[in-house]
């Protein structure tokens, strides 16, 4: 059988498709991580009696400028510090 490894034109087309998926998936990776961070923040906030949306709203009103990546890490690995942040609100 002849496959695309031995046919230049098919191999070139496969590379073009791979490059387009590579570009799209770099964008998709950012979305996936943001969703994961939101899920972790929501779990930590609910442990402290708040929903995710109320927690983020209170953070913005209190001018606490921690990004979602840091908040999710604090909620998962340092719940006592996350609890202090919630008590500041």
CATH number of the domain to which 40 belongs: 1.10.1900.20
H helix intervals, 48-78: 52-61, 68-77
Confidence tier at 88 by pLDDT (50, 70, 90): confident
Report the distance separating Cα 22 and Cα 15, nearest Å.
Answer: 10
Q: What is the C-alpha R_g of the chain?
A: 22
Q: Which domain holds residue 75?
A: 29-88
Say if 38 falls within a structural domain: yes
> Other C-beta atoms within 10 Å of 82: how many?
22
- Looking at every residue in the chain, the average pLDDT score rounds to 92
Say if 1 falls within a structural domain: no
Domain count, the chain: 1
> Is the whole model's pTM more than 0.75, yes or no?
yes
Q: Helix and strand tally (H, E) in the chain?
A: 4, 0
Report the distance separating Cα 62 and Cα 83, nearest Å.
Answer: 15
């Amino acid at each position: 059988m002849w496959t695309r490894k031995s046919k230049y034109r098919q191999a070139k087309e496969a590379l073009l498709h791979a490059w387009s998926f590579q570009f799209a998936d770099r964008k998709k990776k950012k979305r996936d991580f943001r969703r994961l961070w939101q899920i972790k923040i929501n779990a930590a906030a609910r442990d402290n009696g708040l929903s995710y949306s109320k927690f983020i709203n209170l953070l913005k009103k209190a001018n606490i400028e921690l990004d979602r990546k840091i908040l999710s890490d604090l909620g998962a690995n340092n719940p006592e510090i996350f609890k202090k942040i919630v008590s500041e609100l």
